[in-house]
Amino acid sequence: MVWEHRDKAAIVGVGATPYYPRGQSWPRTTNEMIGDAILAACDDAGIKVQQIDGFAYYASAMAGYVDKMDTASLMEMLGIPEVTFTATLTSGGGGSAGSMGLAAAALIAGDATYVVTVMALQQAKQRLGTVFGALAPDPENSFLQPSGLVGPGHLMSVLARRHMHLYGTRREAFAEIVMSSRQNTLNRPGAMRRTPLTLDEYFAAPMLADPLCRLDFCLETDGAVAVITTTSDRALDLKQKPVYIHGAVHGGRAQWGRAFAWMGMPDEYFASAGNKSIADRLWAKTGLSAADMDVALLYDHFSPLVLMQLEDYGFCARGEGGAFVESGAIRFDGGSIPVNPHGGQLSEAYIIGMTHIREAVEQLRGVAINQVPDAELALVTGGPASLPVSGLVLRK
Amino acid sequence: MSVTLSIAVPGDHIAISTNPATEPFWQAARERRLTACQCGSCGAFRMPPTPFCPKCQSKQLQWPTLPGTATIYSYVVCTRSPYPDVADFVYVPIVVDLDGAPGTRLVSNLVGVDPATVAIGQRVQVEWNPIQDGWLLPVFRLAD
Ligand SMILES: [Zn+2]
What ipTM was predicted for this assembly?
A: 0.97
- Which residues on neighbouring strands pair with residue B109, listed in sequence order? B93
Q: How far is A140 from chain B (nearest CA, A)?
A: 7
Specify the pLDDT at position A126.
Answer: 62
- A96 within 8 A of A298, measured Cβ to Cβ: no
Specify the pLDDT at position A130.
Answer: 58
User: Is any Cβ of chain B less than 8 angstroms from the Cβ of A134?
Assistant: no
Confidence of residue A224 (pLDDT cuts 50, 70, 90): very high
Specify the pLDDT at position A17.
Answer: 98
Q: Distance between CA atoms of A105 and A392, rounded to whole angstroms?
A: 13
In angstroms, what CA-CA distances link A150 with A129, A156, A216, A382, B36?
8, 11, 16, 22, 24
Tell me which chain B residue has its CA closest to the CA of residue A131.
B82
For the question of residue A350 being annotated catalytic, the response is: yes
pLDDT along chain B (144 residues), means of 10: 89 94 98 98 97 98 98 97 93 98 98 98 98 97 94
Q: Measure CB to CB from residue B76 to each of A136, A138, A210 and give the nearest one.
A: A210
Q: Is the pLDDT of residue A26 over 80?
A: yes
How many CA atoms, within 13 angstroms, populate the side-chain half-sphere of residue B43? 2
Q: Is the pLDDT of residue A134 over 80?
A: no
Q: Distance between CA atoms of A99 and A84, rounded to whole angstroms?
A: 17
Mean pLDDT over residues A133-142, rounded? 77
| Helix (H) or strand (E) run with residue A76 in it | helix A71-78
Q: What is the pLDDT of residues A268-299, one digit of tens each?
A: 999 999 999 999 999 999 999 999 999 999 99
Confidence of residue A123 (pLDDT cuts 50, 70, 90): confident
Q: Distance between CA atoms of A391 and B2, rounded to whole angstroms?
A: 49
Q: What is the pLDDT of residues A67-110, one digit of tens each?
A: 899 999 999 999 999 999 999 999 999 999 999 999 999 999 99
**Domain range list for chain A:** 9-127+218-395
What residues of chain A lie within 8 A of the CB of B131, using their CB? 146
- CA geometry: angle A96, A98, A101, nearest 5 deg: 135
Cβ contact (<8 Å) for B15 and A137?
Answer: yes
| A25 closest CA partner among A59, A60, A61, A64 | A64
Contacts of A329 (CB under 8 A, 6+ apart): A315, A316, A335, A336, A337
| A223 closest CA partner among A38, A31, A33 | A33
CATH number for region A9-127+218-395: 3.40.47.10
User: Is any Cβ of chain B less than 8 angstroms from the Cβ of A154?
Assistant: yes
Cβ contact (<8 Å) for A143 and B78?
Answer: no
Encoded amino acid at A158, one letter: V
Q: Distance between CA atoms of A330 and A176, rounded to whole angstroms?
A: 9
Q: Measure CB to CB from residue A148 to each of B18, B82, B105 and give the nearest one.
A: B82
What residues of chain B lie within 8 A of the CB of A133, using their CB? 82
Overall pTM > 0.90:
yes
Mean pLDDT of the residues in chain A: 95
| Euclidean distance between the first and the last CA atom of chain B, given in angstroms as a whole number | 25
| A384 closest CA partner among A158, A223, A209 | A158
User: Is any Cβ of chain B less than 8 angstroms from the Cβ of A268?
Assistant: no
What residues of chain A lie within 8 A of the CB of B21, using their CB? 139
Query: DSSP letter at A167?
Result: H
| Helix (H) or strand (E) run with residue A37 in it | helix A30-45
